[in-house]
């Protein structure tokens, strides 16, 4: 370590010793957020700026919404990424469930790493995921059918 490095460490130690107060994560996260690149997308004439990271609320709601048919659940989830009541606006413009899936794929990937996924790639990823969902019931049915063949017949409880 150089003398300059030691001075920096000493300054940090002095701040701790002086009781600088509690760690201020609000200030830290605000500064970090201001310097992180953010992706934008335009949909139906409106430009949306994606958040700098995937909101925890979005992640939690995504789990719940997968099995929900309540449009209010979807509204709340979308509002965490795009603000406002975009579900109704997008639905009025004729958005399909596939298009919503592609927008969500694109958004999630580009929130994590801006510029990492194109719209075309998001569509491919959505198609792959959609194909996987369609194949699951057939596989499950096949597993059930094969497990019935291998199960032993139940016995009356008598020991042999």
Helical H segments across the chain, by residue range: 3-17, 25-35, 56-65, 71-82, 86-92, 97-112, 119-150
State pLDDT tens for residues 115-139.
999 999 999 999 999 888 765 545 5
Q: Is the distance from CB of 29 to CB of 105 less than 8 angstroms?
A: no
pTM, two decimal places:
0.64
User: Residue 41 and residue 90: Cα distance in Å, rounded?
Assistant: 14
- With the CA atoms of 33, 35, 37 and 43 taken in that order, what torsion angle do they form, in degrees rounded to the nearest 10? 50
Which sequence spans correspond to the domains of the chain?
Answer: 55-94, 96-130
The torsion region of residue 88 among left (phi > 0), alpha (psi -120 to 50) and beta comes to alpha
- The residue to which tokens 């801006």 are assigned: 114
- The residue to which tokens 């919503």 are assigned: 100
State pLDDT tens for residues 29-77.
888 777 778 899 999 999 999 998 888 888 888 888 878 878 888 888 8
């Amino acid at each position: 370590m150089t003398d300059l490095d030691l001075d920096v460490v000493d300054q940090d130690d002095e701040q701790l010793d002086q009781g600088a107060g509690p760690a201020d994560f609000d200030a830290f996260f605000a500064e970090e957020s201001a310097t992180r690149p953010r992706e934008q997308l335009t949909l139906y004439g409106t430009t949306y700026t994606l958040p700098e990271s995937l909101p925890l609320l979005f992640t939690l709601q995504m789990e719940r919404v997968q099995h929900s048919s309540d449009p209010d659940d979807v509204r709340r989830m979308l509002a965490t990424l795009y603000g406002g009541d975009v579900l109704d606006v997008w639905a009025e413009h004729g958005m399909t469930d596939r298009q919503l899936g592609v927008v969500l794929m694109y958004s999630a990937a580009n929130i994590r790493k801006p510029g990492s996924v194109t719209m075309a790639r998001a569509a491919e990823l959505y198609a792959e995921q959609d194909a996987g969902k369609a194949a699951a019931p057939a596989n499950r049915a096949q597993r059930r059918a094969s497990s019935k063949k291998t199960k032993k017949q139940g016995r009356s409880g008598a020991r042999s």
